[in-house]
Chain A
Amino acid sequence: MRILHYWRATVGIVGRELLRFLHQRERFVSALVRPLVWLFVFAAGFRAALGIAIAPPYETYILYEVYITPGLLGMILLFNGMQSSLSMVYDREMGSMRMLMVCPLPRWFLLCSKLIAGTAVGVLQSYAFLGIAWLYDIQAPLMGYVWILPALVLAGMMLGALGLLLSSFIKQLENFAGVMNFVIFPLFFMSTALYPLWKIKESSEVLHTLAQYNPFSQAVELIRFALYEQFNQQALLFTAAAFLLFMGAAIMGYNPSKGMMVKKGGGGD
């Protein structure tokens, strides 16, 4: 009976997130506009300046647009993870998060379900982006679109877990802008999303080290290799380890005895 309860709750939480997503069409469009602008404008503009040499998983010279496509998929998942955490802060401020916390299920399970729900939305957005990229002539091998699914799921879970962790620290919605500047931009720009590691090394050794150990870089590489039907073990292990670390810390953050919620208080009187 307990398993049935857990199953129904997961279906309920994921279903609610998908329903909200369907009802908020502007959210879907805006989630796609950002990476598409990067693809159509930024990548086209920098095509000549940023030539990419042959490096795995690519077997030939590629256009810059082709190179940054996995990075832009990572961008979708990163922003989606952060948006989920934004909605957690909003939900907590507005009280609906409290409704979730009062139901008779363990906190870790509720957080995992929220994470699965957010990731499902991110994966849908990623496939929509891949569809548009296909029409723009950025085409990977057909099986790559199947291989990429587990990579997108793991990357989405890792970035969503980071969002959950951040949401446990943020007391009010206004503080979220700072997190965007201090988390999203450094994660994205100090990664292999826009330029390969060897290119970063040419300009700065420190930046190269930071980019190499940036979990977002590893997630992007996992996606990049999967899209070309290849397996990157290091990226998989690194992304999985980062997911476990962020998720464990997020669960601690929401723990009713020890977490950040206790320190921050519930407000009101």
Chain B
Amino acid sequence: MSVADEWTAGPTGSAPAAAQVDVLVLGAGPAGMAAANEARAHGMSVLLLDENAAPGGQVHRAVESRTPKDEQDRDGAKLAAAFRASGTDYRPGATLWAVEPATEGGGGKVFWSEGGAARSVATQRLILCAGATERPLPIPGWTLPGVMSVGAAQIALKTAGLVPEGQVWLAGQGPLLWLYAVQALERGGRLAGIIDLSPPGGLRRALPHLGRALKAPEYLWRGLQWQRRVRRAGVAVTVARALRAEGEGRLARIVVDGVAHPADLLLLHDGVVPNTQVTRAIPGCVHGWDPVQACWRPGLDLWGNTAVAGVMVAGDSAGIGGARAAVHAGRIAALEAARALGRITTDERDARAGPLRLLRDRQLAPRLFLDAMFPPLPPAAIADEVVLCRCEEVTAGRVRQAVALGCLGANQTKAFTRAGMGPCQGRICGPAVHGVIAAARGVAGGEVDPFRTRFPTKPLTLGELAALAGPL
């Protein structure tokens, strides 16, 4: 017996027999809840996995335990209530870590961890609604304790009622930054100031898309309201080009275009990108580069089907569209799943999906305007000494050296620098590493291969993994 044989020997088929469901949904955000509700309405068995303790996703986080403050909260609460009543087998605190699509036809296998144990299930259709993640904003000193993302502060606000106080600065650009500022101020929080790093000329770039954006004028109206409320609250907004964080062992000050200010919390934001960690790990799942949002998106048909049979994507993980668009996309995907499994006819699917498409298109109307307004900050401007990969502490300079050594994409760069090899597996640094490589090569982002993600897409213990093969 060779060493390799010894290391993989064992009884075959000793893993507990997997149960079978019609549809497995990943994520209990707007898209995931809507997909589950629609799938249940057509009599399909649905298992929904979500990492968090309660439904809502990021936008409706902890929505069931908060008093609704606005229309968005009310939408979220209604959706969550319907989801709770839908008969979905809902698994909070469950982390998906592998997908093995079927070799032919529908029906694949999904693996996850829940309560400290690895589990698996066979499913006819997989609808991935993994949402979005914040684009990293690597500035000098962003690894110092006391520097966090705006999204993180919003989670602390929604789940624990923490409001900013003291020398708290927001920096970067994008709608979430302004929304958080408003939410924090409404809850009695205080901000030292906002550093607006958005590239100049935003309005000029966005104006050609204004007509279309006005199909859903509430988005622009809300955005203007947010900015006005922040200014009315007396929060100084400084337009700046360069920002650094400084301090010994923790954040002490920020330096804005050469001017220092005391700081004990700096919250960074540069927009959001689709979470494609799972789809990129599935062999054959094709992705395309979105030059406007500067991100990768899974290639989908009109219904949310990926290039891999049985694997579907809906919501922001297919491309940033916001919570309302995600709800419609989730329902459309579930209708297609119902058709594929013979629960409804093609005509029924088309008839039901038609109105949903119109609603979704309306919600997507302002996107071009917003994307033109807030293009991602240029990776070429990141200084060599700035850490990109926080896990392995790899600087932009190291990444540029790897490019000079002939690395064409993120994967060779990973091999040569360890960027993206740590526990987060490139989740945080991926867009930044990719952008720095493209800029250093002088090519468009679409010409640079992104990190190839691998299963397990989230860490699990060797004990959990080994238990799948049966007792030791």
Partners in one complex: no
Interface residues of B (CB under 8 A from A): none
